[in-house]
Structure 1
Amino acid sequence: MDYCRREQLPISVQCYPFTHDSQSCSAIKKRGYSLPIPPTIPYLVPPSIPSQEPYIQIIEEPTNKIIRFRYECEGRTAGSIVGMSSTPTKKTYPTIKICNYNGPVVVVITCVTVDQPYLQHPHKLIERGETNNSRFGSFVKRLRPDQRILELQFGIQCVKRSDVRHSLLQRQQRNIDPFNVGFDHLNNLALINLYQLRLCYQAYIKVDNNYVSLDPVVSSPIYGKSNELTITRLCCGFSKMSGGDEIIMLCDKVSKNDIRIRFFETNDEGDVVWEADATFQNQDVYKQMAIVFRTPRYRNPEVRHIVQVQLQLVRPSDGATSEPRPFEYYPNPAVLEHVDNLVNNNNEPLDLVISSSISEKEPISDVLLAKNHLKTKHTLHHYYEQHCQHQRF
């Protein structure tokens, strides 16, 4: 029974459909490779295989220690998964080898569930400082003709529970399904364990003008921290640029001696461009369920428009973090005083002041929004949108 899988891979290597094709199998046999009967259940580590058959061999498994998965909003800072034999003095990483084959190889790695059947897992693989190899949650690498061993240095980017469906739908649309088990788990997302997964290794070897898939192999389980911190509610989601505003946070199971509140800002590439900690004392942590803190000063307190940042809880002892929450910084009161003078001196209606300020290239709508806080937020945005149809900054 022929079992090899044939595929003409696109240049972008974005989808990986599998089909049985006897012509491709014949092409492999002509090159001197023999084909075994396929196993009925995918195996974790290749069993004893005759030396002439190409296959994927796991040389170094990922660590069995609990690691921390990173959120997307934390930027491309996911630490690399270390290998099982890694030590503080000598780092190792998950490593695979393509055995008994010489020629072009495309390696594809995705996250799958721990238990069989190996379903696609919503979490993503991300390479630090690299964008070309990470696509739709998978890691794709073209090996050089003389390269047979691949050491993998990437991290795991966790997907929020609310984004699990979208992540899986992306894989389904691109037919990323190594074991052809489908996506029925889309109908029962609550059963997906977000803190356990395996790595699935695939390799495509080139035979004539076609790419043929070797049997996929999965790694040992990888475990993420399940005792993540949680922010339940904030009494206020904004602060002035100079900081110092008092805010009450409701949270869950925090230790007053082992907790930080981190504010941070990222750019369009996901890199952290600013971060600072809120200030509070041990006595400001109430029964592990609430923290009263003061906001840190923004990096440029003279900014005269709203700045979107994020905040999260951080546990220094193990590096655990909560899911980040959005937060806004507004212009300082000195800017608001300037607006008051502008309104009082001109003695004009609010909409005329906004119109005049826009023409003078002053972000007055943001300033007024800061002054009136949430009560008139929607009204001011309405004024701003109306006038900006005719005048732009």
Structure 2
Amino acid sequence: MASNPFSSIRLSSIRRSSGQLSPQPASSRPRLRALLSLLFAAAALLGPLRAEAHVMTSANVYTDISLSAAKEEIVLLTGMNIIVYSHDDTLFRPQEKLSRSELAAWAAVFSGRAAAGDAPEQAAQAALSAGLAQSLDGNATYEDVNLAFFGGALALDAAQGTEGGNGFGTTTTTDNETAYDTTSGTAPAAAAAAASNELTREQFALFMGEHLLEPLPGGTLPEQAGYLTGPAGVVGKVSEDKQGGYRIEIAGETYRLYEHPRVLSAAADPAQWKGLTLQRSWLKPDAMDAQELVLHLLDFGAESGAQEATASAAADVPAQAEASSDSSGVSLSWLVLGAAALLLLLALAARLRRRRT
């Protein structure tokens, strides 16, 4: 009898449909286990890098503000989205004039009339349409800032005692500080030469820091941004959880630290905060659990010698290295995880191909 050439094919099809697949070669199993181990090891790298790498301070938020009188205010304002921050922007350019178009774009994002990812021109137009700006041409003045963020409610006169303000309710002036003048809007040394009251980006930060808690019809600026007043007091235990996040004990109460907090006058490593006095802070409800309040902004000030030494040590770290740890550290961990996942997928695909042959 002649053999049927298709019988073996039908038999193979029946075996495959009934789950009778040829056994996987034993030599490939250790390779698959090794790939799985690599994948889990790469995932474990993400935890430790995530928390500390994203603590933003004046040493790593921008690379050109270490000598600025407004460096701490700049950190605070980026956290509150008053200054729209992007990881792609490494320079703040504190001594440059603030343009009306950029001021308008910031005001639009802060007020919710534009998203942080919108084109600056689009955001500025939204502010203009909403009456937060009268013009997008030229450089901004204190009157423009007053309109954009305070609805024109501030009384801009020299009697306010804001000249030389450092954003924290005091009027001290350092060698590096460029004090603002609500009458001329310029540094005192250059007042005679300037014909307008345009302000620099540094002066904007000082001015906004000075009036941060100004009572307004819609609430203070932090309240408008969705923040609640947080705890103050001596930091006790600082603990790191399994996911790489931190919990901070302040005045006997424990709070979870946000993954991307802004920290003023302290190091980027939360472990170094123990024993420091937190002057003020702001909380926000957790995105996943609205019942849990999370620490977003922490201001340690610099009133004690220990805190000044801590802040100085943080500032001595090269800004580029800090910025690199913020962006490339997390990117590298995701790259390792992605490579491991790709290898695992390739191994699984090869295994499926062998089953079909």
Normalising by structure 2, report the TM-score.
0.25
Higher RCO (CA < 8 A, seq sep 6+): 2
Normalising by structure 1, report the TM-score.
0.24
* Greater fraction helix: 2
